[in-house]
Amino acid sequence: MHKIEIPQWAIERGRSMNRFDSIEPEKTALLVIDMQNWFIVPGQTFANANTLETVPNINKLASTLRAGGGHVMWSRQAVVAEGPGKPPAWIQNNPQGPNADSRIHLKPGAFGHALYEGLDIARDDTVFDKYRYSAFCNAAIDVDQHLRSRGIDTVIVTGTVTNCCCESTARDAMMRDYKVLFATDATSAVTDEEHNAALLNVQIAIADVRDTAEILSLLEQRR
C-alpha cells in the first residue's frame, strides 16, 4: 500500500473549494477506473502490487454505496484498431514500448482487458470501455449523460493509475460540475512518488481527497 504524504499547506489550500462534509449516496456514483487484469495479475505488463492492495477498499466502497442507493461504474481501458476509439496514428504506429503491448493485451476479449476477478461487481453496476485516459472522454458510453440521467451530482474516483486515468477522470468530472471525492487508498500508481504527486495536484484544485474509512463514514452517516 502506498505511503500517503500530502503537505498540510495543500490540504488547507484545497479545503475551501473541495471539502464536502456530507454525501447523499443516492446522488453519488463510484467510478472505478481500469481495475483490469493487465494492471493487477502477476506477469501482466503493468501488474502492480499497489493496485492489487486497493481491491478490498474498492469493494467496501462499492457495497456501501449500493446499499445507500448509489451507482457503481467500472471502466475498462480498451485499445482498438478501428472505429472512433482508435488511437491517433502517432501512437497506433509506434512499434516500441508498452503502447505496442497494449494493442494485444487491452484488446476487448483479451485476458488483460478483463476486470480482475476479485472485484465485487453487481448485476446493476455499469461496465464500459473507454479509449482515452479520462472516463469522460471518448468512451463507449456518454458517462456524463449516464450520470445525469440518474440524478448523480457527486462522484468518488478510485482505481488505477492515480496519476493518469484517475487524475484525468477527476479533472473532467470537476470541469463538468460534479462534486469529486478522490480515495487515497483506493487508487494506485507505480510508485509512491507518482501517487503522491497526483494526490497533491488533485487536492489543491480538483477534489476532496480522503481515505476509504473517511468516505465510508460519510456514506454511512447519511444512511
Q: What is the pLDDT of residues 164-183, one digit of tens each?
A: 999 999 999 999 999 999 99
Task: Return mean pLDDT, the chain.
Answer: 93
**Position 223 pLDDT exceeds 60:** no
Q: Alpha-carbon distance 24 to 20, whole Å?
A: 11
Hey, what amino acid is at 72? V
By CB neighbour count within 10 A (0-12 exposed, 13-18 middle, 19+ buried), where does 176 fall?
middle
Can you list the alpha helix ranges (DSSP code H) found in the chain? Answer: 8-18, 37-40, 49-53, 55-67, 89-92, 97-105, 143-148, 167-175, 192-205, 212-222
Q: Decide if domain 8-222 falls under CATH 3.40.50.850.
A: yes
Q: Looking at per-residue confidence, does 45 or 136 come out higher?
A: 136
> Would you state the pLDDT for residue 213?
98
Mean pLDDT within 57-84: 95
Flag the least confident range among 78-87, 105-114, 122-131, 209-218: 78-87
Question: Model-level pTM greater than 0.85?
Answer: yes
Query: Cell 471539502 identifies what position?
Result: 19
* 81 confidence band (pLDDT: 50, 70, 90): confident
Hey, what amino acid is at 156? I
